[in-house]
Each structure stands twice: as structure tokens, then as C-alpha cells.
Structure 1
Amino acid sequence: MEIKVYGAAQTCPSCVGAPSSEETYSWLQAVLGRKYETALTFEYVDFEAAPVEDEWITALQDDVYFYPLVLLDGEMVDEGYVQLKKITQAIDRRLEKTAPE
């Protein structure tokens, strides 16, 4: 599973008091890496400095979403003030779908 965090060096103006995008990324790596035995890959994308645009970068630039924006295998699971419970629930649902019966 791939966890991708889109963010920027500057904290989202609407997310005052929230951790920075980079802090959120580091925190998710540490917590999820300890919690799950399954292979997780992590990627951080600074949407203001990314050399290539994609649909998520465009949406962030157009203020459609707050950042940090967290994707699990290409699907948005949380944005702005990221909550661990939302992320773990999405991972758990994905693991349940792939578990052998």
C-alpha cells in the first residue's frame, strides 16, 4: 500500500495550530510503520515545488482541498488537520478486502 502526503513548506492558512505537512508525513511514517506489519510505502510531495503536476496538485492549487492531503493507493482519505483514526480505518478496510477467506 502506498501512503502519499501532499503538502507545502508553509502551513495551510485554514489549519492554524495543526502540524506542518512535513511533520504530518514524518508522524504517519513512524506510527503506521509500527502499527502495521504489511508493506507500506510513503511518499511526500511538496505541491508548490513539484516538477510535474497531477490532478491532486491542481486541486490543491485551486483550493479544492486543504493540505496536508493524504492518499491511500491514490484515494483521498484525509486532508487539513489529519486524524490518525481516519487513516487507520482506511488501511484496515483495504486489508480486510485483501485478506484471504
Structure 2
Amino acid sequence: MKSIELIVYGAEVLCPSCVNLPSSKETYEWLEAAVSRKFPNQPFTITYVDIYNPPSDDGNKKQFAERVIEEDLFYPVVVIENEIVGEGNPKLKTIYSEMEKFGYHAVEI
């Protein structure tokens, strides 16, 4: 199985439409814990990208961070293999379903 990368694009400041939701960083940490529990011992990476300070050495992440700002996407935006799978308040069920398409097998908790 190929290890996939989940990327959480967000910012320190909450998006205007996401006032009562967790911060992007909190969502990233929550997602990392939830995915690790659901797919134990299965390789994946999860990366947090600050949309206002993206990594300068990764053109794809920098370009997508700019897109989040330009298109006023609700962040955090969760991306798996170049597909947006969650925006604003990402749903675990949708993220799990996308990972299963790549051969991940859920372990019931």
C-alpha cells in the first residue's frame, strides 16, 4: 500500500464563517489522532500548512495555499492526494472513505 499524505491547510485566525469551530491547528491534531486510531499500523503522513506562511520549498503546497485565500475556501481545508475532502468543518466519515479508496482498512474501535 502506498503511503498517502493528508494536508490540512489553515491559519491561526479562524475563518469568518467558522467562528464556533476548532482552529485549523486543533483540527489538524484531532484529525491526526482520529486517523491513527482508525487505520493503525498503516502508513500515512499528515501535514499542516499555514496558508499565510506556506513552505517555500514546495511549489504545490504554496500554490494551493494561495488558492485557499484567493477562492475564499473555508479553512481548514483537508486535501488527500490533490482532492479536497473537507472544508471548514471536515467530516471524518468523508476522510475515512477517501482513504479506503487508497487501500486503507478501517479497524473498528
- The structure 2 residue matched to 1:57, chosen from 62, 65, 74, is 65
- The structure 2 residue matched to 1:82, chosen from 60, 71, 90, is 90
Name the amino acid aligned to 2:75. Answer: Y
Alpha carbons of structure 1 residues 4 and 20: separation in structure 2 relative to 1, 3 Å = same
User: How many pairs align?
Assistant: 96
Gaps of 5+ in 1: 97-101
Provide TM-score, normalisation by structure 2. 0.79
Gaps of 5+ in 2: 105-109
1:42 aligns with 2:50: no
Query: Cα distance, 1:74 vs. partner?
Result: 2.3
- The structure 1 residue matched to 2:28, chosen from 21, 25, 39, is 25
Name the amino acid aligned to 2:69. Answer: Q
Moved over 4 A (4+): none
SS at match of 1:14: helix
1:9 corresponds to: 12
Q: Deviations over 1:49-87 (max 9, x none)?
A: 224363311211113421101011222111111111111
Cα RMSD, aligned residues only: 1.6
Provide TM-score, normalisation by structure 1. 0.85
Q: Within 1, Cα distance between the matches of 2:19 and 2:90?
A: 13
State the identity %.
39
Q: Within 2, Cα distance between the matches of 1:25 and 1:83?
A: 12
